Amino acid sequence: MSAIPLSYRETGSGQPVVLVHAIGCDHRMWDSLARALAPSHRVIAVDARGHGASPVPPRPYSLEDLADDVAALLDRLGIGRADYVGLSMGGMVGQALALRHPAKVDRLVIACSTSSYGPEGPANWQARIQAVERGGLEAIRDMVAARYFSDAFRAAHPDVVKVVMDHFVRTPRDGYLGCCDAIAELDYAKDLGRIKAPTLVIAGELDAGTPPAMSEAIARGIPGARLEVIPGAAHLAAIEAPAAFDAAVGRFLAARP
The 41-47 sheet, strands edge to edge = 7-11, 41-47, 15-20, 82-87, 105-111, 199-204, 226-230
Ranking 130-134, 243-247, 252-256 by mean pLDDT, the lowest is 252-256
Q: Which pLDDT does position 218 carry in this prediction?
A: 98
Angle value at C-alpha 155, between 151 and 159, nearest 5 degrees: 120
> How far is residue 196's CA from residue 154's CA, in Å, rounded to a whole number?
38
List pLDDT tens digits, range 12-22: 999 999 999 99
- Partnered with residue 44 across adjacent β-strands are 10, 18
Domain ranges within the chain, ordered by starting residue:
7-254
What is the Cα–Cα distance from 144 to 148, expressed in whole angstroms? 6
Element (H, E) at 135: helix 121-135
Q: By three-state DSSP, how is residue 79 classified?
A: coil
55-92 tens-digit pLDDT: 999 999 999 999 999 999 999 999 999 999 999 999 99
What average pLDDT does range 222-250 have in this prediction?
98
Q: How far apart are CA 175 and CA 59, in angstroms?
A: 8
**pTM, 2 dp:** 0.98
For residues 54 and 154, give the distance between their C-alpha atoms in angstroms, rounded to a whole number. Answer: 29
Arithmetic mean of pLDDT, 47-58? 98
Which range is least confidently modeled, 40-44, 190-194, 252-256?
252-256
The pLDDT of residue 1 is 60
User: Residue 162 in contact with residue 142, Cβ under 8 Å?
Assistant: no
10 pLDDT tier (thresholds 50, 70, 90): very high
In this structure, are residues 144 and 216 in contact, taking their beta carbons and an 8 Å threshold?
A: no
For 149-174, what is the mean pLDDT? 98
CB 4 within 8 A of CB 48: no
**pLDDT at position 44 over 70:** yes
CATH architecture of 7-254: 3-Layer(aba) Sandwich (3.40)
User: Considering the chain, what is the average pLDDT of its residues?
Assistant: 97
